[in-house]
Structure 1
Amino acid sequence: MERVLITGAAGFLGSHLCDRFLEEGYKVVGMDNLITGDMKNISHLFQDEYFEFYHHDVSKFVHVPGHLDYILHFASPASPIDYLKIPIQTLKVSSLGTHNLLGLAKAKNARILIASTSEVYGDPLVHPQTESYYGNVNTIGPRGVYDEAKRFQEAITMAYHRFHGLETRIVRIFNTYGPRMRLNDGRVIPAFIGQALRGEDLTVFGDGSQTRSFCYVDDQVDGIFRLLHSDYAEPVNIGNPHEISILDFAKEIIKLTGTHQKIVFKPLPKDDPMQRQPDISLAQEKLGWSPKVDRTEGMKSTYTYFKSLSKEELHASEHKDFSKHNQK
C-alpha cells in the first residue's frame, strides 16, 4: 500500500484529504500541532488501522519512520483572525516547515504537494486570476505574514524541484467551504452562518461590492488529488470560477437560513482583496478537472453541519486562545 503524510491533518481541508486518501486505499499519516486544528475533525479515523497520527509542529525537525510515497503540506493558519494573532508561527510554518518537509521528501524519495493560496495574488489588478499573474501584494501589511509566507513557500518548492529534481506539485487554493470549517474563524461563510444562527446582524465589510468565488470542499479535494497524481510541477489554480459579491452572498445566507437579520456595514480591513476569481483553464487542460457542486447544494450541506453544532460551540468566542503557544 502506498503511504502518504498529510500535515495540517486535523484542520478543515486536511481532515477531508485524510478521508479521501483512506477511501482510495492509502495508508495515511496525519500530522498537526493543533494550534488551529481540532481532533474532532479526525476522531472518526482512529478506528481505521491504516491511519496514524503525530502531534507535531512541522516548523521543527520532522521525522516519520518508514517509507513515504507522498507528502501533502497543508499545515498553516488559513484565516485572517488566526494569522493576525499568530503572525510569526504563520511565517514559520510556510518557511521552516516547508523546508523541513521538502528535505523529508528528498530523503524519502517522495512526491510532495504544497498547499499555496489565491492570496499570492494579493489585491489583484488582473481579473480573473491566471497562474501567470505575479500578484499585487503589500509585503509589510498585516496580511503580508500569510501572503508572503505562501509566496516564499512556492519559491523554495520550485528551487527544490529545479535544483534537486524533486517531484513537487503546487496547488493555489481559492475560497473553499464545507463541513468542519471552524465557526467564527473570520472567513466569510462560517462568519455569516454563525451570525445568522445566533440571531445577530450579518456584518459586511466595505460596501459589499468585493467579490469571492466559493468552491465546495469535495471539489477542492478532488482537484488536489488529481494534481498530486499529474505530471505538472508548476502552480495550478483550484477553485470555483462562479463569482459573487459579498453583499449578494449575505442576502443568500439570510434566505438559506430563513432568518431576518439586517446587514450592517463596517470599514474594509487593510489590503482586503476587492476581487477573487480563479481562471481554471490550466486545471481543466492538465487535470481534466472542473467543480461539480453548485453553491446552492454545497451551502445546504454546510448549513446542515453548522446547525448540528452544540450551543456551546455556536456561542464560543470567535478568537481561539493562542496564549499557550509561544511565538519566538
Structure 2
Amino acid sequence: MDWLLKNADVYCPGGPRRADVLVRGGIIRRIAEAIPGGSGLEEVDLSGCVILPGLVDAHVHFREPGFTAKETIRTGSLAAAHGGFTTVCAMPNLSPVPDSAGHLALELEAIRRDAVIRVLPYGAITVGEMGKELADMGSMASFVAGFSDDGRGVQDEGMMRAAMIEAKRLGRVIAAHCEVNSLLRGGYVHEGRYAAAHVHKGICSESEWAQVARDVELARETGASYHACHISTKESVEIIRRAKAAGADVTCETGPHYLVFCEDDLQEDGRFKMNPPLRSAEDREALLAGIADGTIDMIATDHAPHAAGEKAKGLVGSAMGIVGIETAFPLLY
C-alpha cells in the first residue's frame, strides 16, 4: 500500500518542520508541505505526531540464545520497532556466550530468521565472559558491532589492555561494563540515603568510576576505540569529559532511567532494581549536563527483560534489569 502522511512534525537535516511524507513501494519518495493526494494513496492525518529517522539503540539484551523465557530476537525486535528503533546492538551475555565464530553463529541464525529490524550483535571480550582468556575476536570481527563482556567488568588490567590492542587491530570498539567486583560488597542499590534509611546493601559510585578511569587511560595508551556503557555517576561523566578534551578515542552512553529517576524515587519493588543502580539526584543532574555539553554521546536503553517472577521479589531478591525499548523515546522526547 502507498501512503500519504499528512501534517506531521518531520525531522529533516535542517531541523524539524511541519510537512507531508509520500511513501510509495515502501520508500519515502517526497517530503514537502501540502502534497496533493491521488488515486491509490492511503491518507493518514498525523497532526501532533512526529516522523523521524529510525532510532539506534547501542545496548540491548535480547536473551537469545539461552534465555528465551525472558526475551527472544523476535519479541525484542518487535518491541524495538514499536519503540521507533530500526537498529539495535545486542549484548553477548547469552548461553552460549558468543566468544567464537561457532557460538556467534547461533545468534546470527536467530537474527537472520526472526529479526524484524537490524540487529547487530556484540562479541564477547573474554571466553565465557569469565575474564580469564581473550575470546576469538578475530573470527568474529566481521560479524559484530564490537566487543563487550557486558553484565560484568573485565577485572584484570592486563586482560583489558590486550583486548584493546586486539580490538584496535581489528578495527572494532571495546564497549565496557565498568564495575570493580571487589567494591560491590553484595550491594544491590546505590550506597546513599535510601540504602541507609531502609537498611539495604549499597553499591558505591567508585565501583563504576574507578574502572572508567582505568579504561580511559588504557584507551589513551593503546589508541583503541573505547565506549563506556551505562554510566551513572558524576565522577564517570567528569573522567570522560577530561579524556575527550585530551584527545582520547572515548565515547559513552547513559540510560533513560538514570535521566528520569534517582535514588529518591526508589520503592521496595524489584522493578527499581538495575545495574548500575539508580544514583543520587546530584548524579542525575551531572548526567543531564553531560548530555547537554556533548560529553555523553548517546542514550541507550540497556533493555534487559526478565520473567515476571524474577522481578517480583523486591529489591533484595529480584533480578537486576529494566526494560525500556518501547518507552525510551516517548519518555525522553
Do they superpose with TM above 0.5? no
- Greater relative contact order (CA < 8 Å, ≥ 6 in sequence): 1
Higher fraction of strand: 2
TM-score by length of 1: 0.37
Q: Which structure has the bigger radius of gyration? A: 2
TM-score by length of 2: 0.37
